[in-house]
Amino acid sequence: MKGEKHQFFYGYVVVGVVFCIMLLAWGIFLSFGVFFQPVLTEFGWTRAATSGAYSLAFLVIGPLGIGVGRLIDRFGPRLVMTGCGFFVGLGFLLMSQISAIWQFYLVYGVIIGIGMSATFVPANSIIPRWFVKRRGLMTGIVLSGNGVGTIIMPSVARWLISAYGWRTAYIVVGIIALVLIILAAQFIKRDPSQVGQLPYGAEEVKTESSGLKARAFSLGEAIRTNQCWLLCVISFCIWFCVGVVMVHIVIHATGLGISAARATSILVLIGAVSIAGKAIMGSIADRIGNKSALIISFVIMTAAFSWLMVAQNMWMLYVFGVILGFAYGALSPLVSPAVAELFGVTSHGVIFGITFCAGNFGEALGPVLAGRIFDVTGNYQWAFLIAAILSIIGIILSAFLRPISKSLPASAP
């Protein structure tokens, strides 16, 4: 079977299935901003307190992502992503029943957080095992599921809320997540050997020449390198900025006098443009390298937040949505291939889990800090400025990324 050139490559099935899981799970999860105002109105909580449940979810997702990476390296992703569907679906169903803030934090922060921890790490860890060539492009396609989900699910949620209320909306999206994610997970295979195939491009690019075998780092070896921690801080910068926007851009726009429906369209636009960002920059990274792609993407993100600080009307917010959407999409698929490039794929799941954990601390901190800034100052200007500064830091740190050789001492840069 390995020698049959015409054999259909199952890796494309894996890409399609994981794309669908990312669409459903993250599309619903990132609709938090659409539910923000109805929940705020019913309970009268502060913006910082309401944002806190979203942030708690990322504090749960991050550390658990490390353990999920280890489970994937040992047992494969199918069982892990089945558990994702169960906890995500259950969590959104329970959201329809909350009546106190501790319940909000328990359900959204903990239960949904547990489920979401089994999405992003598996999605990023599976693709490097299936693809040697086109790794950046395929990672970008998989993660563009987030973008498609951000186009579809906030609009669906907005319609359900308008027609039936936010509680019924959570019941509907919970059922969708529970059934479809669990079903899709059954088609996932950990690596090509399970179906008698080789990774895409392995016949043209030998493992030894690609450097993957030479840089097959264990977790212990990887965390003793400067490059691992650079990737962690880079991931923190990316997801801090994304978290601020995903939670607060809709309510920020309504505060400028824009209707809820038009404000939601900004979130949809970000998701739509992020699809192009993931595919385009993922493909470009295959040609120019992950380091250069990271620098370019952070420059674009810096421009986005600089523009947002002066945006006061709908067309300016749409321009922001286009710029930020491309930057967000471009940055999303770059960390996972960088981990594979620097450390190999033997322990990719758990090493990527470390960088993912750092990113989740950023996405946890960003929304709460932005909410607190608004509660104190009455606007988001300082929050947007901090995001711009972190984007600049991302540019600088990306410039210091460099290949490492296992033959060097583990702490060598």
Compute the mean pLDDT over every residue in the chain, rounded to the nearest whole number. 84
Share of the chain above pLDDT 90, in %: 33
In a domain, 408, yes or no: no
For the record, the structure tokens of 114 come out as 């547990």
Closest residue by Cα to residue 321 from 272, 394, 362, 363: 272
Share of the chain above pLDDT 70, in %: 92
Q: Which amino acid is at 401?
A: L
For the record, the structure tokens of 250 come out as 């809709």
Residue 211 confidence (pLDDT) above 60: no
Query: How many residues in the chain?
Result: 413
Residue 380 confidence (pLDDT) above 70: yes
> In this predicted structure, what is the pLDDT of residue 3?
41
Q: How far is CA 134 from CA 2, 23, 210, 408, in A?
A: 19, 21, 13, 29
> In this predicted structure, what is the pLDDT of residue 359?
87
Q: How far is CA 363 from CA 17, 61, 145, 241, 318, in A?
A: 26, 10, 19, 7, 23
Are the beta carbons of 333 and 139 closer than 8 angstroms?
Answer: yes
The DSSP call for residue 192 is G
- In this predicted model, what pLDDT tens digit does every residue of 23-42 receive, in sequence order? 999 888 888 878 888 888 88
- In this predicted model, what pLDDT tens digit does every residue of 124-143 receive, in sequence order? 778 877 887 777 778 778 87
Q: 123: domain range?
A: 11-399
Are the beta carbons of 34 and 154 closer than 8 angstroms?
Answer: yes
In a domain, 311, yes or no: yes
What pLDDT band is residue 202 in, cutting at 50, 70 and 90? Answer: low
Q: What is the average pLDDT across 185-198?
A: 80
In a domain, 321, yes or no: yes
Per the structure, how many domains does the chain have? Answer: 1
At residue 98, the 3 state secondary structure works out as: coil
Q: What is the average pLDDT across 110-115?
A: 92
In a domain, 350, yes or no: yes
Are the beta carbons of 137 and 83 closer than 8 angstroms?
Answer: no
Residue carrying structure tokens 């920059």: 281
In a domain, 38, yes or no: yes
For the record, the structure tokens of 116 come out as 């979401």
What pLDDT band is residue 215 in, cutting at 50, 70 and 90? Answer: low
Lowest mean pLDDT among 181-190, 194-203, 291-300, 314-323: 194-203
In a domain, 404, yes or no: no
In a domain, 6, yes or no: no
In a domain, 58, yes or no: yes
CATH number of the CATH domain containing 42: 1.20.1250.20
> In this predicted structure, what is the pLDDT of residue 210?
40
At residue 200, the 3 state secondary structure works out as: strand
Q: Is the pTM of this model over 0.75?
A: no
Lowest mean pLDDT among 60-64, 215-219, 248-252: 215-219
| 120 vs 104: CA distance, rounded Å | 23
For the record, the structure tokens of 107 come out as 């359900």
> In this predicted structure, what is the pLDDT of residue 58?
79
Are the beta carbons of 309 and 317 closer than 8 angstroms?
Answer: no
| 378 vs 307: CA distance, rounded Å | 19
Give the chain's radius of gyration (CA, Å): 20
Q: What is the average pLDDT across 146-175?
A: 88
